[in-house]
Amino acid sequence: MYTAKINRSEDTEKHLEFIQANGFAILVSNVEGKPWATHVPLLLSRDKKKLQGHIAKGNKQWKEWNADTEVLAIFQGPHTYISSSWYDHENVSTWNYVAIHVYGKLKVQSESELLNSLRELTDKYEKQSERPVSVDRMNQQYVKREMLGIVGFEIEISKIEASYKLSQNRDAKNHEIIVTELEKRGDHGSTAIAAEMRKAGHS
Amino acid sequence: MYTAKINRSEDTEKHLEFIQANGFAILVSNVEGKPWATHVPLLLSRDKKKLQGHIAKGNKQWKEWNADTEVLAIFQGPHTYISSSWYDHENVSTWNYVAIHVYGKLKVQSESELLNSLRELTDKYEKQSERPVSVDRMNQQYVKREMLGIVGFEIEISKIEASYKLSQNRDAKNHEIIVTELEKRGDHGSTAIAAEMRKAGHS
């Protein structure tokens, strides 16, 4: 992904935390020569070297996967419009956002690998449930039947690109004005970007 | 995009409204044989047949664009995890989301087309500002200089695919339970998906 130098981040630990906290990703690869995207939760493996997920067998994206397929997984954080009307000088408006792009080669999982991934994925998101379900406590015939309808995969992470576009190029005064205006707006994207801006700082 | 029949929507007017309301998109095309994505606001043209946008000249994505380039623009709505622990029967958990994918051929804009798009894009988002900025009221030398750093483009819309994955396959009782649990959670994604679920209805 293109990222201006001031918006780049090379902090791999931070990126992996972001991926774990924003796990609903967009998986992109080519189908019939055109980009094809699937919205799907991706799970970071325990060794933090792979992403694991599954798609419906009816989704033809998997039919073109082979040992050389390099896919892109997009993890998106908050985003919001930044109005240059807030600044103390003339400038163009822009958009602030946080996004992480992961590239890697993809491999289709075996049945047991898929089962393990489903267990871990379910456990991860069921932590917040009052009465958590678990794959192991389900009827195993039912689980097997469900697995027939999906294709599991692993992406061996080869590159992580991060864009923290957070007005880092503004001076202290204008940076503070932006944060204040975003907090006034109060919607989800504005509030979250204001918090990210405070963390990222200014020029 | 793969979409189960029950989650599909063919209502073009609704999709165009969604695109206008969720204009911060992801533009995907290939660079050096791999998928490349840029996070960018896309503006629906007045005749509703095109998407207009611009990217930084430093972003090499535009260097591979030619008259045959078919790109994918991803517009994402809310999304949230749906726990099967809420259901009155055994089932797997899932993710609900709304997403629209637009395909089309891309053409680089002339200088005057780009200027028009910048005017309209700014006017669209400045409507909410107390003291709206406008491209026409800016120093025109400054605008020209800024334009040297970007590449404007138009996507001629050839296909719109919409996925409203909103538990439409659940019966009235389970559908209501899901909506109630999402409203209890109270975060942005859950609240927005609960509202979309009420609109979409159940089996």
B131 touches chain A (CB under 8 A): yes
Residues of A in contact with B138 (CB under 8 A): 90, 92
DSSP 8-state code for residue B22: T
Asked if A28's CB is within 8 angstroms of B93's CB, the reply is no
Integer Cα distance of A78 and A94 in angstroms: 14
Residues of B in contact with A61 (CB under 8 A): 2
A24 touches chain B (CB under 8 A): yes
In chain B, the residue whose alpha carbon lies closest to the alpha carbon of A61 is: B2
pLDDT at B28: 98
Residues A42-93: pLDDT tens digits?
999 999 999 999 999 999 999 999 989 999 999 999 999 999 999 999 999 9
* Helix, strand, or coil (residue B141): helix
DSSP 8-state code for residue B110: P
pLDDT at A47: 96
Mean pLDDT score, A157-175 = 97
A137: buried, middle or exposed (CB in 10 Å: 19+, 13-18, 0-12)?
exposed
Mean pLDDT score, A175-201 = 96
Asked if A130's CB is within 8 angstroms of B85's CB, the reply is yes
Distances from the Cα of B156 to the Cαs of A178, B50, B73, in angstroms? 35, 5, 11
Q: Which residue, among B8, B26, B124, would best test binding to A if mutated, counting the most A CBs under 10 Å from its CB?
A: B26
In chain B, the residue whose alpha carbon lies closest to the alpha carbon of A34 is: B70
Q: Which residue, among B31, B75, B84, B85, would best test binding to A if mutated, counting the most A CBs under 10 Å from its CB?
A: B85
Residues of B in contact with A146 (CB under 8 A): 92
Q: Which residue, among A39, A68, A159, would best test binding to B if mutated, counting the most B CBs under 10 Å from its CB?
A: A39
Residues of B in contact with A37 (CB under 8 A): 1, 28, 72, 74, 101
Q: Which pLDDT band holds residue A194 (cuts at 50, 70, 90)?
A: very high
Residues of A in contact with B190 (CB under 8 A): none
A20 touches chain B (CB under 8 A): no
* Helix, strand, or coil (residue B202): coil
Q: Where are the alpha helices (DSSP H) in chain A?
A: 12-21, 111-126, 140-147, 172-185, 188-200
Please report the DSSP string for A27-41 in residue order: EEEEETTEEEEEEEE
Which residues are CB-contacts of B86 (< 8 A; sequence separation ≥ 6)?
A: B174, B177, B178, B181
pLDDT at A203: 84
Residues A89-106: pLDDT tens digits?
999 999 999 999 999 999
Kindly calculate the radius of gyration of chain B based on its CA atoms and give it in whole angstroms: 20
Q: Shortest CA distance to B42 belongs to which of B181, B189, B154, B202?
A: B154
Residue B33's region, left for phi above 0, alpha for psi from -120 to 50, else beta, is left
H/E run at residue A106:
strand A94-108
Q: Shortest CA distance to A72 belongs to which of A50, A101, A97, A115?
A: A101
- Written as one letter, the residue type at B180 is T
Q: Shortest CA distance to A174 belongs to which of A77, A91, A99?
A: A91
- CB crowding A5-18: b at 16 or more within 10 Å, else e: eebebeeeeebbeb
pLDDT at B139: 97
Q: How far is B26 from chain A (nearest CA, A)?
A: 9
Beta bridge partners of B163: B8, B99
A139 touches chain B (CB under 8 A): yes
Integer Cα distance of B70 and B67 in angstroms: 9
Asked if A142's CB is within 8 angstroms of B38's CB, the reply is no
Asked if B163's CB is within 8 angstroms of A92's CB, the reply is no
Residues A111-163: pLDDT tens digits?
999 999 999 999 999 999 999 999 999 999 999 999 999 999 999 999 999 99
pTM: 0.97
Beta sheet of B24-31, edge-to-edge order: B34-41, B24-31, B70-82, B94-108, B150-165, B50-56, B43-44
3-state helix, strand, coil in chain A (%, to 5): 35, 35, 30
pLDDT at A126: 98
What are the per-10-residue average pLDDT scores of chain B (203 residues)? 94 96 97 96 97 98 94 98 97 97 97 98 97 97 97 98 97 97 96 97 90
- Written as one letter, the residue type at A13 is E
Number of Cβ atoms within 10 Å of the Cβ of B110: 10
Please report the DSSP string for B114-138 in residue order: HHHHHHHHHHHHHTT-SS---GGGS
pLDDT at A135: 97
